[in-house]
Amino acid sequence: MQPSGFQEKRFALLKLSKELGRKEYSLAILGEGNVSARTSEHSLIVKASGTSLATLAEQDLVHCDMNVLLPILDKVELSDAEMETKLLACRLDPNSKKPSIETLFHAYLLTLPEIEFVAHTHPLAVSQILCSPMARAFAEKRLFPDQIVYCGLTSVFVPYTDPGLQLAQAIRRETSSFIKKYGDVPQTILLENHGLIALGTTTQAVLAATLMSEKSAKVFAGATSLAGPKFLTEESARRIARRPDEKYRRRLGAS
């Protein structure tokens, strides 16, 4: 028996995937990127390995057991063959496709308070910056108010790590440090030389964070070409993050 609300979550995730895969957004091509949703306290659905965000179908979503996935994060190391075995073992339907190699970090992020959806993409403009020496500055500083509203006061920055267990562990480590420092769950995570993760309570919040991150990257690149960028001061950024009207706009964007 499927968990309560499973069909609604699956429909919402498929719709989000197709939005993220729209060609004009340049967020992902071919088999790039993945999406997930929490379906119960102990389960999630995630994009199957090698499938496309733009054309994702019901049979391309894999229902996975978090009780199998989460303990893997505490392993010191895991061979590629062992990882393959674990990914196949986490499937609640043994006839379904193999889940994405990045299912591990999805499982962790979906345990965070109020996080119901996660999207990982490789946006063109964001990737240009993440492959440059300016990556950390772009992640940790802010340029304009809407970037703060939809992407957070700052983003988690994860130095380059090989995909798989090591990346999932690095994301957990850096995200835990962020939560301890700021007392809140991040809206965006930036992976050096890799891509973007957006997380939120709704698909609308995840899509908004992804699109605003891409706009922010374009603004950043343009400002850099004009002897910039000129970042907001930390005081101004924190004031915007606390303002009631900006919090209201953030809730509207997530509804």
Q: Average pLDDT, whole number, for the chain?
A: 94
Which pLDDT tens digit goes with each residue over 171-188?
A: 999 999 999 999 999 999
With respect to residue 207, please indicate whether it lies within any of the assigned structural domains.
Answer: yes
Distance spanning both ends of the chain, measured CA to CA: 29
The CA-based angle 43-250-237, given to 5 degrees, is 115
What tokens appear for 55 in the block?
Answer: 């054309």
Which pLDDT tens digit goes with each residue over 51-109?
A: 999 999 999 999 999 999 999 999 988 888 999 999 999 999 999 999 999 999 999 99
With respect to residue 1, please indicate whether it lies within any of the assigned structural domains.
Answer: no
Confidence of residue 254 (pLDDT cuts 50, 70, 90): low
Confidence of residue 230 (pLDDT cuts 50, 70, 90): very high
With respect to residue 43, please indicate whether it lies within any of the assigned structural domains.
Answer: yes
For 59-194, strand residue ranges (E) read: 61-65, 117-121, 156-158, 188-191
Domain range for 143: 6-253
pTM of the model: 0.95
How many domains does the chain fold into?
1
Report the pLDDT averaged over residues 130-149: 97
CA–chain centroid gap for 121, Å, is 7
**Nearest CA-CA partner of 46 in 21, 14, 68, 70:** 14
Q: Answer yes or no: is pLDDT of 249 > 80.
A: no
CA–chain centroid gap for 242, Å, is 23
Listed in sequence order, the residues at least 6 apart from 42 whose beta carbon sits closer than 8 Å to its beta carbon are 65, 66, 67
With respect to residue 202, please indicate whether it lies within any of the assigned structural domains.
Answer: yes
With respect to residue 17, please indicate whether it lies within any of the assigned structural domains.
Answer: yes
Report the pLDDT averaged over residues 17-30: 96
CATH number of the domain bearing residue 122: 3.40.225.10
